[in-house]
Amino acid sequence: MWKTREEIALVEKQERKERKKTVRRVQAGISTAIWPPLSSDRFGLIQEELKGDAFHLIVGTTFLNRTRGSVAIPLLRQFLRDYPTPHALSLAPLTKTSTFLQPLGLYNVRATRLHNLATTWLTTPPIFGQATKKYNYPPRDTKPFPSSLLPNNGVEQGRCWEIAHLPGVGAYALDSWRIFCRDEFRRAAGERVEVGQEEWRSVVPMDKELRVYVRWMWAKEGVRWKEPGDIQQTALSSPFFERVEDGKVVEIVEDGGSYGGI
């Protein structure tokens, strides 16, 4: 039976209300990003766009840290057009950078951090094999990695990393760099990165967007990332795959809980 325009509009309005209810049920710290199909090459994070330039990616984490992407990303793109290199950024007046960053909050802190990053990059850039110990990384409160094959945090604490000496590089920046840049960094230095040994496999992010990205990467290989409330880590069931392929899944648990909603 054909519906009138008014009836269709009423149904659409009700569907919007239901979607809003779902969003409100999402608990704090859980990503609401809709998973793209598992066949996709990209998830949709800005880090995927910036991964070809490690300096750009680390600058990006300074913009995104504790800031909504909808606010930070347009400013970030403009900033990288104005200051595409560490040298260009090091020459920028600190007051000008601070003024530009005002919409993000903590703008004086961010501006100083970015200038220090640029000057340090010029004098001591990241070099493969020259690494600095990063204490309390991964953070001690990291939600455990869902496998007995690796430490709960993915890697042991207190390891040395090639970017750990850079100002402003904390867990979020390190996780982003490891996931999106470190394999290419190793290849550029002549090191072989075996299939199955990619860096992202040992990253256990606390940031909700990075975390859902890594869960999606595991899902592409048929592995369920276990989270609190999950029964066990197993190969993903075909219904789960179908729902992901339909673009309907955010995150799923098996005990009736809701991680991200559907």
Reported as a single tens digit per residue, the pLDDT across 144-169 is 655 555 556 678 788 999 999 999 99
Whether residues 237 and 152 share a domain: the answer is: no
Lowest mean pLDDT among 40-44, 54-58, 211-215, 250-254: 250-254
How confident is residue 141, by pLDDT bands cut at 50, 70 and 90? confident
pLDDT, position 234:
45
pTM confidence score: 0.79
Q: Is 74 inside a domain boundary?
A: yes
Full domain range(s) for residue 55: 46-208
- On the question of pLDDT at 96 being above 80, the answer is yes
Percentage of the chain with pLDDT > 70? 71
Q: How many CB atoms neighbour CB 127 within 10 A?
A: 10
* Torsion sign, CA atoms 123, 129, 135, 136: positive
pLDDT, position 248:
58
Secondary structure (3-state) at 208: helix
Residue reference for tokens 């004098």: 123
147 or 99, which is more confident:
99
- On the question of pLDDT at 58 being above 70, the answer is yes
Domain boundary pick from 208, 234, 249:
208
193 or 225, which is more confident:
193
Whether residues 91 and 155 share a domain: the answer is: yes
How confident is residue 28, by pLDDT bands cut at 50, 70 and 90? low
pLDDT, position 253:
43
pLDDT, position 4:
61
pLDDT, position 209:
92
pLDDT, position 241:
57
Whether residues 165 and 232 share a domain: the answer is: no
> Looking at this protein, which amino acid is placed at residue 54?
A
DSSP 43-64: ---HHHHHTT-HHHHHHHHHHH
CATH number at residue 197: 1.10.340.30
pLDDT, position 254:
39
H and E: helices and strands count for the chain: 11, 2
How confident is residue 2, by pLDDT bands cut at 50, 70 and 90? low
Q: Is 143 inside a domain boundary?
A: yes
Is the distance from CB of 38 to CB of 220 less than 8 angstroms?
A: yes
Is the distance from CB of 204 to CB of 144 less than 8 angstroms?
A: yes
Secondary structure (3-state) at 122: helix
For residue 6, give the H/E element and its range. Answer: helix 5-25
230 or 262, which is more confident:
230
Q: Is 7 inside a domain boundary?
A: no
pLDDT, position 238:
54
Residue reference for tokens 């955010």: 250
Q: Six-digit token pair at 158?
A: 């207190």
Q: 130 - beta bridge partners?
A: 127
Is the distance from CB of 131 to CB of 161 less than 8 angstroms?
A: yes
Is the distance from CB of 55 to CB of 86 less than 8 angstroms?
A: yes
For residue 133, give the H/E element and its range. Answer: strand 132-133
Give mean pLDDT, residues 34-41.
Answer: 87
DSSP alpha helices (H): ranges in 44-168? Answer: 46-50, 54-64, 69-82, 86-91, 94-100, 107-123
How confident is residue 44, by pLDDT bands cut at 50, 70 and 90? very high
Whether residues 195 and 232 share a domain: the answer is: no
24: left (phi over 0), alpha (psi -120 to 50) or beta: alpha
111 or 68, which is more confident:
111
Degrees, nearest 5: CA angle 234-26-49: 75
**Cα Rg, the chain, nearest whole Å:** 21
